[in-house]
């Protein structure tokens, strides 16, 4: 701005001191003098009276009874000083009132320095109100007839586009900036239509707007597009003033314009970005660094219920719960300062007072020097998600409780057999805590002879052919013992049908199994007992009967001999009767012995076998000597634990039998030895006697079963030995190749005490 109507003195009436100071600074920079600022109508009138300025810039909204319009009216009446209104958004009634004061111009807020300068210059160069509205005639070469040259020079030089045109649009004057803008000479332009570069629709509209200007409202603003000589479409904004002649019929227009293409583009971009943001599912809120809202877009209105005009300017804290410490604005701002961003959940509060769960993120935007300018906050209503989460949590919790508290073991096994999750009962069944168990594979706790899941089922279920399977299997408790279980397993798939894991319900049936085994043992014991009883009945009826018949027969003989007084066979017969009675007693004693053996409590003592066998040999030394048998006992016999008297009885019996069933062997030899095998002592009594046909190996251990009835005996000895050995948790068996091949009787006894009652 090289030339101005300099030295013009302007009073600025504006109650907002920062705005007033800024206008004053701009005006001073343009070369004007600002003798005073005024903050109210009354102050303005007083200062105008004292300084008699050339122009007054008047804010309409002023404090006190007198607003800007009323002040202008009084100024007009008392001093005739031209007044330019600085207006914000003015409602039609106010505008009508303002118009009546015939102001020298309007500057809409916000304005640029260029707009301020143009408005001030136009006001200073036009006739003041009260004077006649006589247009300053401008000739084709641009000189004014009535105005001094200094104004022409000023208008020539300002960068704004200035023109004058007649009612039909014919240009009568253009300034240098106008020529430069359209890249045409003044000769080319003057005489052409001022709307020649505007599109048709704009031409009609602008023409109507221009025609609508009246002496009462001679100033108007309008905007239109132009197509420049370089075929660019640009936007021009004009402030146009109609200048009427005395008759008010003929008129000319003077217009000052500027290119607002950039502003329009910025507006369009803003509109576009706003429209894009509207599509976002979140509220997008821009705040200054203290959290004061500057932009309110996206779904902000939908979520919080406030319009942009209600929200802009307020602190962002007004949309979230004030009492919450966690989501206080201070904390969020502190967090951003500390880490450069904030991400978290806050409780929002809507216009209607409803609380809304919000997922918020906030980040600063920086200028090119790295200084934070504003904060961009993205807020998402997560009510729906929260509800879903809550519902899911509740159903999870229900499932978890059912899972945890089930009285049956439940676990989830992945497709590789790894244990994913086990409930309390499952941990109890196997003796592991959850952490231990969930680190194992199902095979680690499965009995080696059982499979974890039958392969057919795994393959069948993965192929979608089998639903579930129930089977009995054995697990190994952490303490090493067997746990019997009834397992029911199914494959779980995800919503797409993909196999996820197996779920197994496991019922501990160890107790039932024990009971079952015990029952089977008892049944078999009972069966054995029954067989023995049958045999006993037979023996009683047969073996006891035969001595009785003998006794009866000889008693008859004795009777006869007594009647005949024949005494020569008497002694002989008595001998037979006694022998038969002895036999009967032996049988009855054996029966008693066998019936006692199962009931006697077993004593447990440490027994070195060599020692005990020596005792046994001494007990049967008589028969050994009679048969002149040689007995060899190995030195290193093991030591066992058991009932000494009973075990001694077993070995006596075996040695006695070895002598008894030696047959005609000229060198009767008995060898006794033993060794340790695992937890057992395995001993043998070997003879070179008559041997036993392998067909009868099993039978000889039965009660009263005898192969050789010629030899003295009752058939109780081996049955008794078997029972004693088994009661010790051991076994007895015989090996013999057959008749004349000798026999070996084997006795296997545990080295330490066991409970033979357990399976």
List of residues contacting ligand ADP (CB under 6 A): 653, 657-658, 661, 687, 689-690, 692, 700, 706-708, 713-719, 743
Name residue, tokens 């029911």.
488
Q: Tell the smallest beta-carbon distance from residue 674 to ligand ADP (Å).
A: 17
Contacts of 452 by beta carbon, 8 Å cutoff, 6+ apart: 413, 417, 442, 443, 446, 473
- Pair 101, 73: CB distance under 8 Å: yes
Looking at the Cβ atoms of 256 and 692, the one nearer to ligand ADP is 692
At 158 the three-state DSSP class reads coil
Supply the DSSP string of 26-70, one letter for each residue.
HHHHTT-B---EESSHHHHHHHHHHH--SEEEEESS-SSS--HHH
Looking at the Cβ atoms of 427 and 594, the one nearer to ligand ADP is 594
Looking at the Cβ atoms of 327 and 590, the one nearer to ligand ADP is 590
Q: How far is it, in rounded angstroms, from Cα 715 to Cα 459? A: 59
- Pair 426, 437: CB distance under 8 Å: yes
Which tokens in the block code for residue 433? 């805590």
Q: Tell the smallest beta-carbon distance from residue 684 to ligand ADP (Å).
A: 12
CB atoms within 10 A of CB 715: 19
Looking at the Cβ atoms of 313 and 694, the one nearer to ligand ADP is 694
Looking at the Cβ atoms of 186 and 706, the one nearer to ligand ADP is 706
Q: How far is it, in rounded angstroms, from Cα 405 to Cα 402? A: 5
Supply the DSSP string of 73-139, one letter for each residue.
HHHHHHT---EEEEESS--HHHHHHHHHT--SEEEESS--HHHHHHHHHHHHHSPPBTB--PPPPB-
Q: Tell the smallest beta-carbon distance from residue 543 to ligand ADP (Å).
A: 11
Contacts of 685 by beta carbon, 8 Å cutoff, 6+ apart: 651, 654, 655, 658, 670, 671, 672, 744, 745, 747
For residue 225, what are the β-bridge partners? 235
Q: Tell the smallest beta-carbon distance from residue 672 to ligand ADP (Å).
A: 13
CB atoms within 10 A of CB 706: 16
At CA 612, angle to CA 608 and CA 614, rounded to 5? 120
Q: How far is it, in rounded angstroms, from Cα 398 to Cα 757? A: 45
Looking at the Cβ atoms of 58 and 716, the one nearer to ligand ADP is 716
Looking at the Cβ atoms of 348 and 717, the one nearer to ligand ADP is 717
Q: Tell the smallest beta-carbon distance from residue 634 to ligand ADP (Å).
A: 19
Q: How far is it, in rounded angstroms, from Cα 718 to Cα 703? A: 8
Q: Tell the smallest beta-carbon distance from residue 625 to ligand ADP (Å).
A: 18
- Asked if residue 399 has a cis previous peptide bond (ω within 30° of 0), the answer is no
For residue 360, what are the β-bridge partners? 344, 379
At 239 the three-state DSSP class reads strand
Looking at the Cβ atoms of 150 and 630, the one nearer to ligand ADP is 630
Q: Tell the smallest beta-carbon distance from residue 677 to ligand ADP (Å).
A: 23
Q: Tell the smallest beta-carbon distance from residue 660 to ligand ADP (Å).
A: 6
Q: Tell the smallest beta-carbon distance from residue 569 to ligand ADP (Å).
A: 31
Q: Tell the smallest beta-carbon distance from residue 488 to ligand ADP (Å).
A: 51
Looking at the Cβ atoms of 226 and 692, the one nearer to ligand ADP is 692
Looking at the Cβ atoms of 82 and 668, the one nearer to ligand ADP is 668
Looking at the Cβ atoms of 122 and 692, the one nearer to ligand ADP is 692
Looking at the Cβ atoms of 691 and 729, the one nearer to ligand ADP is 691
At 664 the three-state DSSP class reads coil
Q: Tell the smallest beta-carbon distance from residue 615 to ligand ADP (Å).
A: 19
Using a 10 angstrom Cβ sphere, with 0-12 exposed, 13-18 middle and 19 or more buried, the burial of residue 476 is: middle
Q: Tell the smallest beta-carbon distance from residue 649 to ligand ADP (Å).
A: 11
């Amino acid at each position: 701005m090289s030339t101005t109507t300099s030295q013009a003195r302007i009073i600025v009436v504006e109650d907002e001191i920062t705005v007033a100071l800024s206008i004053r600074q701009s005006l001073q920079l343009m070369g004007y003098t600002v003798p005073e600022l005024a903050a109210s109508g009354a102050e303005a009138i007083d200062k105008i009276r004292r300084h008699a300025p050339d122009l007054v810039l008047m804010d309409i909204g002023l404090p006190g009874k007198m607003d800007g319009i009323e002040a202008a009216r009084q100024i007009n009446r008392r001093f005739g000083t031209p007044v330019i209104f600085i207006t914000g958004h003015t409602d039609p009634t106010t505008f009508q009132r303002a118009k009546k004061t015939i102001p020298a111009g309007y500057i809409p807020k916000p304005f640029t320095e260029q707009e301020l300068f143009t408005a001030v210059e136009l006001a200073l160069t036009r006739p003041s109100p009260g004077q006649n509205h006589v247009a300053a005639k401008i000739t084709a070469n641009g000189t004014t007839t009535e105005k001094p040259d200094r104004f022409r020079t000023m208008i020539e030089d300002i960068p704004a586009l200035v023109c004058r045109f007649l009612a039909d649009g014919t240009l009568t004057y253009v300034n240098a900036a106008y020529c430069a803008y359209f890249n045409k000479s003044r000769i080319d332009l003057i005489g052409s239509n001022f709307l020649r570069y505007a599109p048709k629709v704009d031409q009609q509209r602008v023409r109507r707007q221009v025609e609508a200007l009246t002496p009462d409202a001679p100033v108007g603003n309008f905007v239109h597009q132009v197509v420049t000589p370089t075929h660019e479409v640009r936007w021009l904004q004009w402030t146009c003033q109609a200048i009427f002649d005395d008759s008010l019929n003929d008129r000319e227009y003077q217009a000052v314009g500027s290119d607002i293409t950039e502003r329009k583009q910025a507006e369009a971009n803003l509109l576009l970005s706003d429209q894009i943001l509207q599509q976002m599912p979140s509220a997008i809120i821009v705040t200054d660094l203290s959290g004061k809202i500057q932009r309110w877009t996206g779904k902000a209105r939908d979520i919080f219920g406030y319009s942009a005009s209600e929200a802009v300017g307020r602190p962002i804290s007004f949309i979230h719960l004030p009492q919450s410490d966690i989501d206080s604005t201070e904390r969020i701002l502190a967090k951003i300062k500390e880490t450069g961003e904030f991400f978290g959940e806050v409780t929002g509060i809507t216009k209607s007072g409803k609380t809304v769960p919000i997922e918020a993120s906030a980040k600063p935007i920086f200028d090119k020097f790295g200084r934070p300018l504003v904060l961009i906050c993205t807020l998402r209503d997560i009510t729906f998600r929260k509800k879903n989460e809550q519902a899911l949590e509740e159903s999870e919790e229900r499932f978890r409780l059912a899972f945890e508290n089930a009285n049956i073991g439940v676990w989830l096994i992945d497709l590789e057999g790894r244990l994913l999750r086990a409930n309390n009962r499952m941990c109890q069944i196997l003796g592991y805590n959850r952490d231990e168990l969930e680190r194992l594979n199902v095979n680690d706790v499965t009995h080696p002879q059982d499979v974890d899941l039958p392969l057919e089922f795994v393959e069948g279920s993965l192929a979608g052919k089998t639903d579930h399977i129930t089977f009995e299997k054995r697990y190994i408790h952490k303490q090493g013992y067997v746990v019997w279980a009834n397992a029911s397993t199914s494959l779980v798939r995800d919503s797409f049908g993909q196999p996820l894991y197996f779920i197994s319900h496991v019922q501990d049936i160890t107790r039932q199994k024990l009971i079952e085994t015990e029952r089977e043992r008892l049944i078999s014991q009972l069966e054995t007992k029954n067989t023995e009883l049958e045999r006993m009945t037979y023996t009683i009826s047969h073996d006891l009967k035969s001595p009785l018949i003998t006794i009866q027969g000889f008693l008859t003989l004795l009777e006869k001999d007594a009647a005949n007084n024949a005494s020569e066979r008497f002694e002989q017969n008595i001998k037979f009767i006694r022998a038969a009675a002895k036999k009967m007693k032996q049988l009855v004693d054996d029966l008693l012995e066998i019936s006692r053996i199962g009931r006697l409590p077993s004593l447990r003592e440490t027994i070195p076998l060599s020692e005990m066998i020596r005792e046994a040999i001494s007990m049967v030394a008589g028969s050994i000597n009679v048969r002149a048998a040689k007995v060899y006992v190995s030195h290193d016999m093991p030591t066992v634990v058991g009932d000494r008297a009973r075990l001694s009885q077993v070995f006596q019996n075996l040695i006695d039998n070895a002598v008894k069933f030696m047959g005609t062997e000229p060198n009767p030899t008995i060898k006794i030895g033993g060794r340790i095998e695992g937890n057992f002592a395995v001993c043998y009594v070997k003879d070179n006697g008559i041997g036993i046909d392998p067909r009868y190996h099993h039978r000889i251990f039965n009660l009263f079963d005898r192969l050789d009835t010629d030899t003295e005996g009752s058939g109780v000895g081996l049955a008794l030995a078997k029972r004693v050995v088994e009661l010790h948790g051991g076994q007895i068996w015989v090996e013999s190749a057959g008749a004349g091949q000798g026999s070996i009787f084997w006795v296997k006894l545990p080295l330490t005490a066991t409970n033979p009652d357990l399976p």
